[in-house]
Amino acid sequence: MTTLTKTFAALSDDTRLTLVEKLLKRGELPAGTLAAEAEISAPAISRHLKVLREAGVIVQRVEGTHRYYSVQPDALRAIHGWTMDHRAFWSGSLDRLDTLLALEPDDTPGEGTE
């Protein structure tokens, strides 16, 4: 498995995507808070956090008995980067035929540079 497929795999579960979005919106949170807000057991959440950690999507900070989790920005950058690598295929028009034309070595109209 490549780094990217591991990242996608980590985010391919609703429970885990929800955990990540909580961390994205609210910042660093302890495992206990994440477990309390979830509908499944604390051990199950702990395992999901482990999957996310091993995929490099989140990082853990230990403080006493608490484990604080937060999102690793590089993981989102990697996904963003992958979509940008293939931007010519999906950006520009909403029409698929136009996307094919966008592959021509021609500059993309309408969109300002970012």
Partner DNA sequence: TCTTTATTTTCGTCAAATGTTAATTAACAG
Partner DNA sequence: CTGTTAATTAACATTTGACGAAAATAAAGA
Q: Are 58 and 23 in contact (CB under 8 A)?
A: yes
Radius of gyration of the chain (CA): 18
Q: Name the H helices within the chain.
A: 3-10, 14-26, 31-37, 42-54, 73-85, 87-90, 96-102
Q: Which of 3, 44, 46, 89 binds its own copies (CB under 8 A)?
A: 89
* Interface ranges with DNA (CB under 7 A): 9, 13, 15-16, 30-33, 35, 40-51, 60, 64-67
* Interface ranges with its own copies (CB under 8 A): 1-2, 4-5, 8-9, 11-14, 17, 21, 24, 27-28, 59, 61, 63, 70-74, 76-77, 79-80, 82-84, 86-87, 89-91, 96, 99-100, 103-104, 110, 112-114
